[in-house]
């Protein structure tokens, strides 16, 4: 604050309050300076927060990528789950901001697999009860890793990691939540993850056709999945499949997961 303004404020403060000045033009000038200073401070704070968010996103997406690698995946699954979930959020009327956050949060759903021993994660054939329990814990580990951050997108990612194996009828894990107890983000990602995983080649089986996967999805309406979400997916299935094919054709690199503008592909797809 400059010295004239300080003197003026000291002189008039007791009588008129802290913003009293000798004349209104001095007051306006001072207010103008305050406003400019405040705007600059807010801008700097927002820039710093954005940089922190980007750094967090880079680190955690990389960790998710490492977890997916161990599960014999190419990484495109992560990209597809993000963009298809964003489309889903958009179709069910979520805000642009929430939809954009889900695109970043959804690819981290299996980050907790980083904590699962290879002996379990890569075991061919069925699991014993104990091994199944270890495997199921990837949800809790994931939520622990992501929940360390207070940034909203990671809070959302922690919710998704924790609840993407909960089932609408209460038969899922880790908590056996049912219906709308499961956050909408977890319900959306569960459905997209299921459909996408079925329609890709795995080491232990070939991909199911889209038609077969849709039949399997319909069978889980009201069981694994929120019936209303299954209906929305079926209604817009052409749009989902078109977007998925575009993602596959674009052969986007890993860095695309980190670019806020990577939803360009989604915009081009018409939402
Ligand atoms: Fe999972
Ligand atoms: Fe997945």
Q: What is the pLDDT of residues 36-90, one digit of tens each?
A: 999 999 999 999 988 888 888 888 888 888 888 777 666 788 889 999 999 999 9
Average pLDDT over residues 11-28: 66
CA-based end-to-end distance of the chain: 49
What distance in angstroms lies between residue 22's CA and the mean position of ligand 1's atoms?
67
CB 128 within 8 A of CB 120: no
Burial 5-25 (b: 16+ CB within 10 A, else e): beebbeebeeeeeeeebeeee
Query: What pTM was computed for the model?
Result: 0.80
Decide which of 133 and 262 is more confident.
133
Q: How far is the CA of 196 from the centre of ligand 2 (A)?
A: 8
State the pLDDT at residue 102: 96
Region 20-39 average pLDDT: 85
197 Cα–ligand 2 center, Å: 6
Q: Does the annotation mark 113 as catalytic?
A: yes
pLDDT band at 9, cuts 50/70/90? low
Residue 25 or residue 267, greater confidence = 25
CA triplet 191, 124, 60: central angle to 5 degrees? 50
Q: What is the pLDDT of residues 142-170, one digit of tens each?
A: 999 999 988 899 999 999 999 999 999 99
pLDDT higher than 60, residue 185: yes
Confidence of residue 226 (pLDDT cuts 50, 70, 90): very high
Closest to 74 measured CA to CA, from 207, 241, 254, 249: 254
Which ligand is the nearest neighbour of the Cα of 163? 1
Bond into 3 cis (ω within 30): no
Q: Which residue has the higher pLDDT, 42 or 14?
A: 42
What mean pLDDT is reported for the chain? 87
Residues 6 or more apart from 234 whose CB is under 8 A from it? 214, 217, 218
Ligand nearest to the CA of 142: 1
Contact 89, 102 (CB under 8 A): yes
Q: How sure is the predictor about 211, in pLDDT bands with cuts at 50, 70 and 90? A: very high
Q: Let me know if 75 is exposed, middle or buried by CB neighbors in 10 A (0-12, 13-18, 19+).
A: middle
Single out the catalytic residue among 39, 45, 113, 206.
113
Ligand 1 centroid to residue 16 C-alpha, Å? 63
């Amino acid at each position: 604050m400059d010295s004239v303004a300080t003197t003026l404020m000291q002189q008039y403060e007791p009588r008129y309050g802290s913003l009293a000045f000798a004349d209104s033009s001095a007051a306006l000038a001072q207010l103008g300076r305050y406003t400019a200073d405040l705007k600059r401070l807010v801008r700097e704070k927002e820039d710093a927060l954005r940089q922190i968010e980007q750094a967090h996103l880079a680190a955690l997406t990389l960790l998710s990528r490492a977890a997916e690698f161990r599960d014999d995946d190419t990484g495109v699954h992560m990209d597809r789950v993000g963009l298809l979930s964003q489309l889903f959020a958009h179709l069910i009327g979520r805000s642009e901001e929430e939809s954009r956050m889900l695109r970043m949060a959804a690819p981290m759903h299996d980050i907790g697999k980083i904590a699962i021993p290879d002996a379990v994660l890569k075991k061919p054939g069925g699991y014993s009860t104990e091994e199944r329990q270890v495997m199921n814990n990837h949800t809790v580990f994931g939520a622990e890793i992501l929940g360390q951050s207070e940034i909203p997108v990671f809070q959302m990612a922690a919710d998704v990691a924790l609840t993407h194996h909960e089932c609408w009828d209460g038969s899922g894990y880790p908590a056996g939540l049912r219906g709308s107890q499961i956050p909408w983000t977890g319900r959306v990602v569960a459905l997209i993850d299921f459909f996408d995983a079925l329609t890709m080649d795995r080491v232990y089986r070939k991909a199911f056709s889209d038609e077969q996967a849709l039949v399997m999805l319909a069978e889980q309406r009201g069981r694994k999945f929120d019936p209303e979400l299954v209906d929305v997916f079926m209604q817009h299935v052409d749009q989902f499949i078109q977007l998925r094919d575009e993602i596959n054709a674009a052969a986007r690199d890993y860095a695309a997961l980190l670019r806020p503008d990577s939803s360009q592909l989604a915009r081009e797809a018409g939402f």
